[in-house]
Chain A
Amino acid sequence: MKRIYFITAMTCMTMLGIMFGIFNLMNANGPRNHLTVGFIYDNDESTPYTYNFSLAKDALEKKYGDKVDILVCSNVLDEEMEEPVRELAEAGCDIIFFNGYSELVPQLAQEYPGIQFCQTSYMDMTDVKVPANYHTFKGEAYQGRYVSGIAAGMKIKQMISDGVITEDQAVIGFVAAFPTSEVISGYTAFILGVRSIVPTATMRVCYTHTWSSYVLEKSAAQQLIEDGCVIISQHTDTIGPAIACEEASSRGTVYFVGYNQSMSEVAPKTSLITSRICWEPYVLAAVEAVRTNKDIESVVSGRIHGTDVSAGFGNGWVEMIDMNQQVIAPGTEDAMNSAIDQFIRGNSSFVFRGDYTGINPNDPSDTINLRNGFVENENSSFPTFNYILTDIITIEEIRQ
């Protein structure tokens, strides 16, 4: 018996030493008590895009409270990125988030290997070599666009059945900033969502060639409404299109589908629903990773390609908000949920699929046949669907 006691005591003392050491080590390397987090915005919180992004900052404040110091630089121009980055680095930031895009960021990241640089993606990162501390991320916005397209489609279907419009008048208007793959992917997913409900629906896209111009965006929306569009959506930064819809509502039937920020505040009569990219999951996970001395990509969940991460409904990176119960068509929620369920189950190949041919606006010889389908964000967090479905989408410029 003495042998057993002896062995037990010795083993326990050894285990105690080891475990004590491990716990102490974990504590030393583990949760840091204080972090400094930087945010560099390409605009400020007056714009829906930056406002939406800043909700992640709010979530960070809420979760960590005094444990994080948050430094914010607003309205930072792409080409003027260096100064604020250096400011934040010198201020002791452990991690810096960028909601805009600048080529300078990966370069500066090399100079500050101890700081994690997390930038919303603005290009296909496939085969792009970046420093280990440089990360790109983006929510798979096309999923939200597709689902909001379903909501718009349900409304159009109701309007057709109520005799408000005919099937031929099922025209969607889209106020778009620039003809980039991100914008094209978004509005294509949107019209495909609409057409999943109303197969005769078509879309008119009006480019403003600027991210933020209330006057231009409102004019573009008014033009689209005048041209017969019954639903307006946008991929620009101001409330102009929503205001245009609200003002036009007394003259006819037109509804608005938002992106990134609820427009029910300014368009309570016409706003249907909004989809938004939730930046919170990534920002929170990345900060937690830094806090616990882990790789960001080992903590964050989503489609991970090196240091490039994207995710959709399944990981809470995209959500539908502010459904206007007074306006939406009956059954909209069920129709949306069934699509969302598919996204959550990991099936997204149904979106960019159908009897369509897309043409690359920059290279007409580059076409895509959607009968074979196209999977967005398959290898990159930046949307790569850069084809215009000319059969159903008409591009127009703002009439001066």
Chain B
Amino acid sequence: MKNWKTWQIMLFIILCVCLNLGGKLFAVKLELPLWADSFGTALCAYVAGPVCGAIVGLTGNLAYSAVNHLSAAYSITSIALGIIVGIARQKNWFDRFYGFMKAASWAMVTALVVSVPIDLVASAGYTGNKWGDGIVDYLSDKNWPIVLCCLLGQLAIEFADKVLTIAFLYILILFRRFQLNSENTAKVHNSAAALIAAVIFLSSVLTLLTPSPAKAAPASDPTDYNDYVQTVYSSNNGLPCGEANDIAQTNDGVLWIGTYAGLYRYNGREFRWIDNFESVKNVNCLFVDEEGRLWIGTNDNGLSIVIREKVVNVLDQSEGLPSNSVRCITHATDGYYYIGTTDAMQILVMNNGVKATNTLEEVYYANSIAADDEDHVATVASDGQLFLMKGGEIINSLKLSSNNETFNCCTFSPYGTLMVGTSTNNIYCYSIDDDSFKLIDVIKCDDVNSINNLNYISDGTLFISTDSGVSYIDGDGYHRININEFNNSIDNMLYDYQGNLWFTSSRLGLLRLAKSPFKDVYGSIGMERRVVNTIVSWQNCYYIGTDSGLDVVDHSCSREIENDLTEMLSGKRIRCMCVDRNDHLWVCTYGNGLVEFSASGEYWTYNANSGSFGNKARLVTELSDGTILAAGDTGISFIRDHEIQKTIRNEDGLINSMILTVTERGDGSILAGTDGDGLAIIKDGEVTELLTTENGLSSNVILRTIKDPKTEGVFIVTSNSLCYLDPNGSIRVLDKFPYFNNYDIWAKDEDTLFVMSSAGIYVVERDELVGGSDIAWELLDARRGLGTSLTANSWNYYNGRGELFLPCDTGVYSIDVDKYNSDVRSYRMQLASVKVDGNNMPLDRTGGITIGQNATRIELAPEILNYTIQEPTVGYYLEGFDNQWTIVPQSSLNNIIYANLPAGSYTFHLAILDSTGEHVLEERKFDLIKEGKLYEQRGFIFYMLLILSSFIIWFTWMVVQRQLNQQQIKLNMANETVMAIANAVDARDVRTHQHSTRVAEYSVLIAEEMDCFSGIHREKKLSNLRKAAQMHDIGKIGIPDSVLNKVGRLDDNEYAIMKSHVIRGAEILKDFTLVENVLDGTKYHHERYDGRGYPDGLKGEEIPLFARIIGVADAFDAMTSNRIYRNHMDTDYVMKEMERGRGTQFDPDALDAFLRLIEKKIIDLDKLYAQKRAEIQQADQEQQEELKRRVEEDRKIQEAEIKKEDNKTSANDEGAKV
């Protein structure tokens, strides 16, 4: 850098500062788990030294302090990093990987020492990096000391940051070296390997630094609303105030009930008082406009507008409303809203809020209001005047002339006719032509008084709410609904989204009429309620036997009939009836025996006096042969042609003669169920067998026997369960049936059975019941419209047209057996509230729930906005947490609590399932996000595990590297020692200048060409070979100068001394352990392949490989090093000599490798000679002469020796031949 020009230095410094700041901004922008603000510092420190590095580091931090003041404090870290890198450079740490690790570790430790105190003082222990802070949060939540939390949080960041920063620098250094050393193969290998290692390391660290992101069908027949199940909600069942002024339904399906006590929200399950609408304390009227806004007219707080259960507008007297008491609201198709108050009529328009536009003083105290599709609005004021308005103005008005009758309410028909109800019972129908009233009809409503509300539902039926009940007009005309006691001050009505009817009474509360498969016959006719025991159809009427006489109703169940029979049987308890094939009616009375009536009025009585079982007749039936079988408390009688054929009594084999049921089987046998002694089988008038608990019955009290619709089997209803008499005669208990107190079974068809019980009617599949496995059932009870209890030991009646008549405690209910599971359009579902740790939290408007990271308990309140009498099966599950649906009947759907939910994203599923609970019919989903602290997120944990493992690897690696480094130092010492020794040897013999080094080079080249070393130890073995070769002549140290440097031929003694250098060398190196196999080269390099070498005369492969290779190299160098003035002839001679030694003096493989090297000109003889020549020319004259002389001398000696050897060889060869 000293040679750099000033501008170059400046540019470099600017680059470094920009690198620091750029990295910092990048890391901040991407919220990386590192600072990335020291790359420039490290680079500068390496290039320009510690001082410059420190200055650049300081500059970056100070500049960024404009954004974050704390940055200045952390500048000490940057300064330290600059100094460390600068020093590391000076100490050549970066020459080794360990040095890089050492520098990074020091930088890390320094940063920790500086940053942790600053964090603790300035940032409450937080690091300023969200990843580091995540660790601080995690550990502090586990109550670790803050100092430790801070230290570890900071360490995670500093580790990644400093390692990456120094690695960035190290890679640059390696890259630079790679360029510089590209000529040096060995170094290239090393540098490239290190570079690759560093790149792999850096990329793996970079991978760490890329954290995962923390992250109903309208019936064709007219509907009879008298069939609807009526439920009154008042102070005793949910509506605390006991009165209701108005009712409305918003688009979400929620019902809103306005009362003087405030506003109630009803979801089908619970009336919730809305106390959080400040402006709504009491409610006169409600209105939901087309867009779904709920308009609330209060009694003394004006008008409030609610959107999605939030008050968005309040308008009262202070803002232009004529009165704070609002009586009625509507919206005209031209956009105007008409607000009737106890004072004038106010016209409003939606324009940047709700704006008052006009006040109609003439319309004083409007009670009823309605709008048509052509911008008209009609209203009736309290004085009975009818106003027609349009465009916010009155266009016409009308008042009845009679003093006894005034207009009370109004509505528009779907065809635009204005219907006006009066204070009596008339509805005046006006057509609006040219903005004027034209009376087209007056409808008189019978049996009602003072029409308060007229309301068309979607199918065009007009409902009339009055002070004395409700009636309606449909295509079939005018009908009165018998709403029993709910018959006072009915002011408003609503047709909800499921088709239920709601009526409000300011005195009685709220009435719901819900579609039901059941029909209350007594209720709809208004008959006196009695306990019914039996029903039959006779003479086009239903004859109903009760505890206190006979009731008769017509087949349409709309009229009660009184006749001679009703009069005759009045007050008598009738237990059972049947109609025989002669159309005679048989009536069992309890006290008067059995009576038979003909249609013409004749009758016959069968009792104890006439020879029957007695006066307490319990049942009567007609057998297949026309015989009438009757039974009672004291036996069974068979009657034919008005004669008692036979009576079976106690003494005839019936242990207990109180017969509760009889069934005729296909084989003519009769099963008679007794009250305590099991089931008697009667054949040919004789009791042949008694089946009791010993035969498998669950009880000996047999309430009913019913033939299996599919087989000859018989269902037996006992006093405690259901049993089944198989066709083969065996009896088993159907113990999977869910209920025990059962009365009767009615087979709808071969597949479906209705089991009557004290709990209601269980609908079950015949096969499932008989099969004995778990059964699915549906209970038709009070919730489904059966508003009473079935009578025990009673006899139902099926009319063959889909209606089953059920004797009940309060009369007769009929059920539509085909539509008992009546279709409901849909169920709206929502989450009413979400409570987090006991506190209500607002729901995201899209239905999403976001829960804070500290929440431990989440309570979801799912709502099924169901107002029908159906009870759907509801399922819910939290996807991401629950493994399966939780399925419950709607009545059991309570708040759902999740505790200690892990952070993450979930979906809450709320669904309506089919009755089996297997198929989802409707579903709503709500996203639920539990926010997590950073450390709760999977990505964070993954990242931190990576950092932790990297940290461990780093320090383990560092320890290993430290040891390797020590070894390397030793090895270097060894190398240096070897080199020193080799040089010492070479220095003793002027003829062998650098001989050892050359032999070493040749040896390595030969070994590489031979490819004799492979695997991971190749490099090491080559290195050892090089060293061994360098020291192969070390023994010459012990050869006296007089021999070693003797001019002239050596005598035998001297030659022996000379030869001893191999043994001497071996002795010298015997304790030298730094290099493996070093001894092999020294001791055996003069062994010959044919075994004629020395010192041990080893042969072939016995000679260590090192020695065989060195032998070739040594001989070649010996021949070439001194032949400086030879020509090509000499080259040929040397090569010839070398080749001659193949298999004799030299290992053929080693020699072949050597020859290939010559051939490839890797060892270039010409070059060698040229080099040698140049060396000699450089030497001074005297030395040259000496050298020449010695060289010549040596040549002669060698030639002589070679000749001598040759002679020996040829002699041996000849000998061998001989």
Contact = CB atoms under 8 A, between A and B. Distances in A.
A237 B291 contact: yes
A250 B67 contact: no
A45 B311 CA distance: 12
Contact of B48 (A4, A84, A212): A4
B6 to A, nearest CB: 6
Nearest to B845: A58
B901 interface: no
Contacts of A16: 59, 62-63
Contacts of B944: none
Given A8-B48, A75-B352, A238-B290, A267 B9 contact: no
Contact of B63 (A15, A51, A74, A215): A15
Interface stretch (B921-929, B994-1002, B1041-1049, B1123-1131): B921-929
Contacts of B477: none
Interface in B184-225: 216-218
Interface string B303-321: 0000110001000000000
B91 interface: no
Nearest to A73: B352
A338 B522 CA distance: 63
Interface string B804-847: 00000000000000000001011111100000000000001110
B920 interface: yes
A26 B8 CA distance: 29
Given A4-B1, A8-B51, A20-B63, A325 B292 contact: no
Interface in A35-84: 43-47, 51, 54-55, 58, 73-77, 80, 83-84
B401 to A, nearest CB: 34
A231 B698 CA distance: 57
Given A23-B67, A239-B251, A214 B13 contact: no
A84 B56 CA distance: 55
Interface in B632-664: none
A107 interface: no
B58 A326 contact: no
A58 B14 CA distance: 45
B64 A73 contact: no
A190 B920 CA distance: 28
Nearest to A83: B352
A215 B55 CA distance: 77
A99 to B, nearest CB: 14
- Residue among A15, A16, A76, A325 facing the most chain B CB atoms (10 A cut-off): A15
B66 A11 contact: no
Contacts of B63: 15-16, 19-20, 23
A213 B374 CA distance: 13
B291 A5 contact: no
A226 to B, nearest CB: 13
B1172 interface: no
B666 interface: no
Contacts of A3: 6
A252 to B, nearest CB: 9
A372 interface: no
Contact of A46 (B56, B307, B458, B828): B307
A80 B307 contact: no
Contact of B66 (A5, A24, A215): A24
A251 B312 CA distance: 38
Interface in B731-764: none
A267 B17 CA distance: 63
A268 B924 contact: yes
Nearest to A267: B826
A4 B2 contact: yes
Interface string A222-257: 000000000000000111100100110111000000
Contact of B291 (A11, A47, A77): A47
A268 B308 CA distance: 19
Interface in A254-301: 264-269
B402 interface: no
B677 to A, nearest CB: 52
Interface residues of B, number: 65
B155 to A, nearest CB: 29
Interface in B107-159: none
Nearest to A46: B291
B826 A238 contact: no
A15 B17 contact: yes
A328 to B, nearest CB: 12
Contacts of A268: 826-829, 912, 922-924
Interface string B330-365: 000100000000000000001111100000000000
Interface in B1-30: 1-2, 4, 6, 9-10, 13-14, 17, 21
Contacts of B67: 23, 26-27
B1004 to A, nearest CB: 43
Interface in B843-875: 844-846
B373 interface: yes
A97 B80 CA distance: 52
- Residue among A46, A84, A325 facing the most chain B CB atoms (10 A cut-off): A46
B31 interface: no
Interface string A13-35: 10110011001101100000000
Nearest to B922: A268
Nearest to B335: A77
B522 to A, nearest CB: 31
Contacts of A344: none
A325 B2 CA distance: 74
A62 to B, nearest CB: 9
- Residue among A24, A212, A237, A268 facing the most chain B CB atoms (10 A cut-off): A268
A19 B826 contact: no
B293 interface: yes
A212 B826 contact: no
B252 interface: yes
Given A44-B312, A268-B924, A19 B291 contact: no
B52 interface: yes
Contact of B6 (A7, A19, A51, A215): A7
A250 B217 contact: yes
A1 interface: yes
B1061 to A, nearest CB: 53
B826 A269 contact: yes
Contacts of B353: 73-75
A326 B922 contact: yes
Contacts of B920: 326
A360 interface: no
Given A8-B9, A238-B290, A268-B826, A27 B52 contact: no
A9 interface: yes
A324 interface: yes
A26 B825 CA distance: 61
B52 A250 contact: no
Contact of B17 (A1, A12, A215, A326): A12
Given A8-B48, A77-B351, A268-B924, A247 B58 contact: no
Given A213-B333, A326-B923, A8 B52 contact: yes
A7 B251 contact: no
Interface in B35-77: 44, 48-49, 51-52, 55-56, 58-59, 62-67
A266 B1 contact: no
Interface of B: 1-2, 4, 6, 9-10, 13-14, 17, 21, 44, 48-49, 51-52, 55-56, 58-59, 62-67, 216-218, 251-253, 289-293, 307-308, 312, 333, 350-354, 373, 458, 497, 823, 825-830, 844-846, 912, 920-925
Given A45-B308, A250-B217, A325-B923, 12 more contacts: A4-B1, A5-B51, A8-B51, A15-B17, A20-B66, A24-B66, A46-B308, A73-B353, A75-B353, A213-B333, A215-B373, A268-B827
Report, nearest first, the 5 A-B pairs whose CB atoms are least far apart. Answer: A19-B63, A23-B66, A214-B290, A75-B350, A268-B922
13 contacts: A4-B9, A19-B64, A27-B66, A47-B291, A54-B845, A55-B846, A76-B352, A215-B373, A239-B292, A249-B826, A251-B218, A268-B924, A269-B921
